[in-house]
Amino acid sequence: QEKENNGMAKTIASKPPAALSPPQITSAIASGSHSIKLTWTAPKSTDVILGYYKAECYRPGQTNAERTRLVHSQFLSVEIAYLLPNTLYECAVIAYLRENSKALGDAWTPSRRSSPIRTWPGNPFEPTDITATAVNSTAVQINWKAPLISNGDITKYQVIVYDSKGVQQNIYTETGRDVYSSLLTGFKPFTT
């Protein structure tokens, strides 16, 4: 609005810019063993021009994001990938104004962090220290240790037997997370 300055000149006093409200996360769900999908609502403001969003996922209690994705201001969802399997994360969305926005300059505003989300379990690493010992001419004892990284709860182990030509002969399944051996029987005597 215009004001007179002692009748000499007119100055224009502009109203202060409206504060940019933060985006609101409406959904944060694990979408795979390495990914989380975020959905949010746009900030409420009539006189600012959004530039982009930055979606981030953190380990609970951490201040540095594990993964970040930039999202065009037209979109209100993103999938953040390359996360660790079976791991808790908290996510946030930050709204940034367009650099040349007259209202607030280069302002930004973060959402509140989401509730913790656990990515899906992934495939476990291979068991370690695998040994095979002939018990007699038709049986072999297999022993192993648990994988160094399980990526979730291990519920069973499978031992697949191949002959020397690479042809699958049999599958033995041992149930139980604390089972680390299997007695394989029924082999033809003196074969490999």
Q: Are residues 38 and 87 in the same domain?
A: yes
Residue 1: predicted pLDDT: 42
Torsion of CA 66, 58, 89, 153, to 10 degrees: 40
Is residue 192, in this structure, part of any structural domain at all?
no
Is residue 191, in this structure, part of any structural domain at all?
no
Closest-CA residue to 22 (of 75, 116, 115, 94):
94
Cα(30)–Cα(52) distance, integer angstroms: 23
Is residue 190, in this structure, part of any structural domain at all?
no
Q: Are residues 68 and 142 in the same domain?
A: no
Who has greater pLDDT, 171 or 112?
A: 112
Q: Are residues 44 and 105 in the same domain?
A: yes
Residue 98: predicted pLDDT: 78
Who has greater pLDDT, 102 or 183?
A: 183
**Is pTM, for the whole model, over 0.75?**
no
Residue 46: predicted pLDDT: 61
Determine the structural domain holding residue 84 and report its residue range: 2-118
Is residue 30, in this structure, part of any structural domain at all?
yes
Residue 100: predicted pLDDT: 58
pLDDT tops 50 at residue 8: no
Largest CA distance in the chain: 114
Residue 60: predicted pLDDT: 94
How many domains does the chain contain in total?
2
Is residue 60, in this structure, part of any structural domain at all?
yes
Give the mean model confidence (pLDDT) for residues 86-115.
80
